[in-house]
Each structure stands twice: as C-alpha cells, then as structure tokens.
Amino acid sequence: MKKTILQSGLLALALVTTFTSCSKKEEGFTINGSIPGQKEGMVYLEFVDGDKSVVKDSAKIVEGKFTFAGKVEEPMRYSIKLKGQEYGKIFVLSNETIGFTAHKDSVYMAKLSGATQDSIYSSYYKNEFKKIQNVAGPVYKLSDSLTQNGKVKLTAEQQAMMDKKWKDLQTMADDLTFKFITSHKDKVAAALVLEDRLVTYGTPEQVKEYFAILTPEIQKSYFGKKINEGIKLNEKTAVGTTAPEFSQTDINGKIVKLSDYKGKYVLVDFWASWCGPCRKENPNVVLAYKTYHDKGFDVLGVSLDDKKNLWEKAIEKDGLTWTHVSDLKGWKNEVAVLYGVKLVPTNYLIGPDGKIVAKNLREEELQSKLKEIFSKS
C-alpha cells in the first residue's frame, strides 16, 4: 500500500443511454455548449467506461454553440470532445440542464454548470484528495532522497521512520475517503470514489467495508455492480484460496502452466517493461530469487506488455533469469484479467499445495516472508 495512494473497463454489454427528443426538460438532460473561437465543426458525446469510449451522439457547432439532448437511465461517465481531438472533458452525466464552456484547444478543461452529480464527485478531488496529495508529496520526496531513488538501502532507523510516515499517510487517506463515502452514500459519487481509490489501491477488506456503507440503490447502480463484481473476484484470489490455474506462452513460444510449479513456492509477479515501480522493485525480486531459489522458491513473471522487443529488453537489462510469460495484450492480458489485476506491480505468493499464501509482498516484506517460510524448512 505504501506508494499506491496517488497512483490513478470493459465496454457495457447493453446500451445505457437512449437519445430521444424530450418534451419535458426534467425527463432527460440538455447540454448547452459554448466553445468561443470554434465557429463550426462537429462535437461528440461519448459514453466512457474505463479506457474505452463509445460515441453516442454528435452535434454541429454553429457560431461556437452546440446542444445535446437525451436521457440516461442513471448517472454515468461521458465525455465531450471535438472531432479530431484525442481527449475530451470527462464528467458524470445525469438528467439535468448542464452548461458546458471550453476553449477550442483545451476542451478537456471545460467548465460545467448545473452538473450536480459531477460536482459532488469532483469535490472529492478538489478537497479530500488535494489534502492527501499535500501531505504525500513531501513523504515521497523524503523517501526518494534517503534512498537516492531506490539505489541506497535504508538503515533500520530510517526504515522505521519511513514506515511510520507511510502508515500515518495511509491512515489519513483512509479516514478522509471513508468520511466522503459515508456522507455521500446515497450518491453515485461515493461509488465512483470507491472504485477509483479502493478497488485499485485498497485492500479487499476495505472495499467490502466501504461498499456496505452505500445505500441499496447505489449498490445496484452500474458502478455498484462493477464494484460488487470486483469483490467477488477478490474472494476468488484471497489468501488461503487455491490460485486459479492458467497457462500462457513464454518468450520462446512454449506454453507454461501455473500447475507446473506445484510442490514449490512460486511468486506470480505481474509487471511490465513500461512500469517504473515494477522496474524499481525488480532488484528486490532478483535478490529473493537468488537467495531462496535453491531452497524451493521460484518466480513466474506475467508481463502486461504489448511489444515483445521491449519486454525482452527489460528482462535482459534487469537480470530477470526466471520464466516469463505474456500474451502481449497489455492490460487485457488474460491472466491479469483472471486475477483481477488493476495495477502493476502486483504479485501472489503461492504455496506448494497451490494455495495463495500472501499477496503484494514488496520490498522488505517479500524478504521477511520468504525468510519466515524457509527458516522452518
């Protein structure tokens, strides 16, 4: 959890929005847009789900003005962007009259008025999250200074000091997020913040605890259902459960199965060549491998790369001498999806019996856990 506090889906199976002419304004939404300096052109309204988007409507810009009208079954994430632009303004759309004002070269920074659901959601990042960032910044800076960006090992005293700072920071972040979700438990904003901050960066126990706070209506919402699916997936990969079996090809095209490692302790390590924190953690995994490999410990790297040459170069450069597999589908890596991996690095320590012993062992925690296991054997 130490360094994941500040680190920021699949397409919907059914259409969640219907666009119709609305006889009464309160029955649907109206977006009145203004882009000064953009006299004409096309603007698009897109449904956003994770890193995917679907165009749901388009409108002509006339003298810098445009209008969208329609209806959503529940508040959802949408974006508005100009034709030819990669990024648009992402916001929570609900059935109300919304004002949209943007500069043609920075539509993603548009200002909204009347978007009440989006305003509640945004308030978390303007207030609670900003407070977390203000405290976290100096802690990260101190850590990088003491370790010289990971090149120097901390003394016992320095480690104890940093552990306390990370713990205090986490406690503060949890408290602020918990209070926000509690005070907005009947709003979709609470589910969105829970999905943003806890599903990816929190513990499965926290996610279940915070989800239980939400009202039944929000739990049954689109985002509530997604969170509940994540909870069920986490339960399938909880400590003590049998690790889901999988197979994937290594760098030479040979199929490797998790069951090939039965009888050993194996660290299934999800990483990627483009992941800075992964590359920073790699020397620690190398140390663990060299120390305990002859005693029955192994590592199986699962890469979320999509370019084989970069994957192979990283393996060679970082001296990762264990077996590596990937289907080169990036975040859609089938093993990562099976295990519900939302960020990298993520790892699972699996015992000789195929059951999960521990999750997300980092830095000294990995060494300590392996020392505990192999000192008994």
3-state SS, residue 306: coil
Find out whether 77 and 91 touch, Cβ atoms under 8 Å: yes
- The count of other CB atoms within 10 Å of the CB of residue 46 is 19
* Residues contacting residue 77 through CB under 8 Å, at least 6 positions apart: 47, 48, 49, 90, 91, 92, 93, 192
Instruction: Name which residue leads in pLDDT, 39 or 8.
Output: 39
Residue 24's pLDDT band (cuts 50, 70, 90): very low
Domains of the chain by residue range: 17-114, 123-236, 247-375
The CATH number fitting domain 247-375, selected from 3.40.50.300, 3.40.50.880, 3.30.499.10, 3.40.30.10: 3.40.30.10
Find out whether 101 and 66 touch, Cβ atoms under 8 Å: no
Q: Which CATH architecture has domain 17-114?
A: Sandwich (2.60)
- The count of other CB atoms within 10 Å of the CB of residue 243 is 23
The residue-averaged pLDDT of 122-140 equals: 95
Mean pLDDT of the chain: 89
Which amino acid appears at position 159 of this protein?
A: Q
* 0.75 surpassed by pTM: no
Longest dimension (CA), the chain: 77
Query: pLDDT at position 8, please?
Result: 35
Query: pLDDT at position 377, please?
Result: 62
Instruction: Name which residue leads in pLDDT, 340 or 292.
Output: 292
Query: pLDDT at position 204, please?
Result: 81
Cα 265 to Cα 263: distance, rounded to the nearest angstrom: 7
Give me the residue label for tokens 């706070």. Answer: 213
72, 229, 246, 270, 308 from 330: Cα distances, Å: 32, 21, 17, 11, 11
Q: Given this chain, do its domains 17-114 and 247-375 carry the same CATH topology?
A: no
**149-180 tens-digit pLDDT:** 767 888 889 989 998 999 999 999 999 999 99
Q: What tokens were used for 10?
A: 């699949």
Residue 225's pLDDT band (cuts 50, 70, 90): very high
Percent of the chain scoring above 90 in pLDDT: 76
pLDDT at 3 over 70: no
Query: pLDDT at position 231, please?
Result: 87
Residue 199's pLDDT band (cuts 50, 70, 90): confident
CB under 8 A, 24+ apart: contacts of 15-20 = 16/47, 16/72, 16/73, 16/74, 16/76, 16/222, 17/47, 17/56, 17/70, 17/71, 17/72, 17/73, 17/76, 18/70, 18/71, 18/73, 19/56, 19/57, 19/69, 19/70, 19/71, 20/70, 20/71
Cα 227 to Cα 356: distance, rounded to the nearest angstrom: 22
* Residues contacting residue 374 through CB under 8 Å, at least 6 positions apart: 292, 295, 296, 297
Residue 1's pLDDT band (cuts 50, 70, 90): very low
